[in-house]
């Protein structure tokens, strides 16, 4: 997962700033005067942008258009004073049982892909979450203050556990408490801004509640309140069922386009994408979800270089048959994916270089985390 500042510059165009409500219930009333006192004396802090993605295989086009493309844009547009931190959150990945060999391979592939899309390890801190123990350590400290009632009301937790509630043996503690780890990820680095999708905004609200509660209990300005940055890219939907998001977990591989798919594979998947036979191309997500999804994909692949609105793309689609329109969409997607795929192929085999980048990123992340964790441990009496 806001007011714009001069530091933000043109990166403010990459995300729509959203001011989230302050933590509710008694915490809000108790901490409001304290927050006002802090804000009136505190010096402005340089911006810190943090985001993470699970290393669970090659990202698909929805991952790229919904998040990763924006990470690169933020990196390229942010002021030199802004710190950018991007994590491969492998501790989150093991909330679901993983094959150890597969997870190790996925971590390697995911790091190579972050480099292939354009993230620069000299500009951004890129690291594996498990290489920085402070994330798990802060998570435990915050867990001792997190409300189980609040966790139980979180929408995503309800969705993830809905199928397992009748068999409590299958429910694991990590699946319940992962929002606390997400909060620790953000708060540990004194993050000021978190780019997220709409479905993650509630997690940032929870992180702010934990920060507010901790600061209030100890009467210290320990944690920064992170602000939510909502991506302008709409959710990219499944090619085979445009009523649901594109996902790596979907049983049909034709439902998604991977960032390593070649031209022939992309053409075949788009050819078989669910659309309709209602005539000329129009944009109507409700009644023409499949066609509208393809229009959205082209718009976000273009990223404003040629087409400013979806109507610009509709005007082209109107001149084509549905078959020709799909061929044109496949071409636009392939132009986006091909350079990423080519760079990935060059990078993924360089194991020593990947190991070096991962270790250097982890060292920088450990340095970023160290002051906050030390202060937290002093505050609670562990030091």
Region of 381 (left: φ > 0; alpha: ψ -120 to 50; beta: rest) is left
What the block records as the tokens of 87 is 């994590």
Per-residue pLDDT in tens (0 to 9) along the chain, 383 residues = 333 332 222 333 333 333 333 333 333 333 343 344 444 455 667 899 999 999 998 999 999 998 999 999 999 999 999 999 999 999 999 998 999 999 999 999 999 999 999 999 999 999 999 999 999 999 999 999 988 877 777 766 666 666 555 566 677 888 888 999 999 999 999 999 999 877 777 889 999 999 999 999 999 999 999 999 887 766 899 999 999 999 988 889 999 999 999 999 999 999 999 999 998 999 999 999 999 999 999 999 988 789 999 999 999 999 999 999 999 999 999 999 999 999 999 999 999 999 999 999 999 999 999 999 999 999 999 99
State percent of the chain over pLDDT 70.
Answer: 84
What are the percentages of helix, strand and coil residues in the chain, rounded to 5?
A: 55, 10, 35
Q: pTM of the entire structure?
A: 0.84
Beta-carbon contacts of residue 52 (< 8 Å; ≥ 6 apart): 86, 87, 88, 89, 92, 129, 185
pLDDT at 19 (0 to 100): 32
CA 282/CA 287 separation, integer angstroms: 10
Q: Which residues are catalytic?
A: 160, 245, 248
Domains of the chain by start residue, with CATH: 48-235+350-380 (3.40.50.620), 253-343 (1.10.240.10)
Ordered DSSP codes for 278-306? SSS----TTT-HHHHHHHHHHHHHHTTSS
């Amino acid at each position: 997962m806001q007011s714009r500042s001069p530091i933000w510059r043109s990166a403010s165009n990459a995300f729509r700033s959203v001011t989230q409500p302050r933590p509710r219930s008694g915490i809000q009333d108790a901490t409001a005067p304290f927050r006002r006192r802090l804000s009136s004396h505190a010096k402005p802090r340089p911006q810190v942008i943090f985001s993470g993605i699970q290393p669970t295989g090659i990202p698909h086009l929805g991952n790229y258009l919904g998040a990763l493309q924006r990470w690169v844009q933020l990196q390229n547009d942010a002021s030199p004073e802004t710190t950018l931190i991007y994590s491969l959150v492998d501790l989150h990945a093991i909330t679901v049982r993983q094959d150890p060999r597969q997870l190790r391979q996925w971590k390697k592939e995911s790091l190579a892909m972050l480099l292939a899309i354009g993230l620069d390890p000299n500009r951004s801190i890129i690291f594996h979450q498990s290489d920085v123990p402070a994330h798990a350590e802060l998570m435990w400290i915050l867990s001792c203050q997190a409300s189980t009632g609040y966790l139980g009301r979180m929408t995503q937790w309800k969705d993830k556990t809905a199928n397992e509630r009748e068999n409590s043996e299958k429910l694991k503690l990590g699946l319940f408490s992962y929002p606390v780890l997400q909060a620790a990820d953000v708060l540990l680095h004194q993050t000021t801004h978190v780019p997220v999708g709409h479905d993650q905004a509630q997690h940032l609200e929870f992180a702010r509640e934990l920060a507010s509660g901790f600061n209030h209990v100890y009467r210290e300005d320990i944690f920064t309140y992170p602000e939510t940055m909502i991506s302008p890219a709409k959710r990219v939907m499944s090619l085979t069922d445009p009523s649901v998001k594109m996902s790596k977990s979907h049983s049909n591989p034709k439902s998604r386009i991977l960032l390593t798919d070649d031209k022939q594979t992309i053409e075949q998947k788009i050819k078989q994408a669910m659309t309709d036979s209602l005539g000329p191309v129009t944009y109507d997500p409700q009644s023409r979800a499949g066609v509208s999804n393809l229009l959205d994909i082209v718009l976000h692949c273009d990223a404003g270089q040629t087409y400013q609105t979806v109507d610009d793309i509709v005007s082209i689609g109107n001149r084509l048959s549905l078959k020709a329109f799909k061929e044109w969409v496949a071409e636009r997607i392939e132009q986006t994916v091909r350079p990423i795929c080519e760079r990935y192929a060059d990078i993924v085999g360089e194991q020593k270089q990947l190991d070096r980048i991962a270790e250097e990123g982890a060292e920088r992340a450990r340095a970023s985390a160290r002051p906050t964790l030390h202060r937290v441990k002093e505050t609670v009496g562990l030091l």
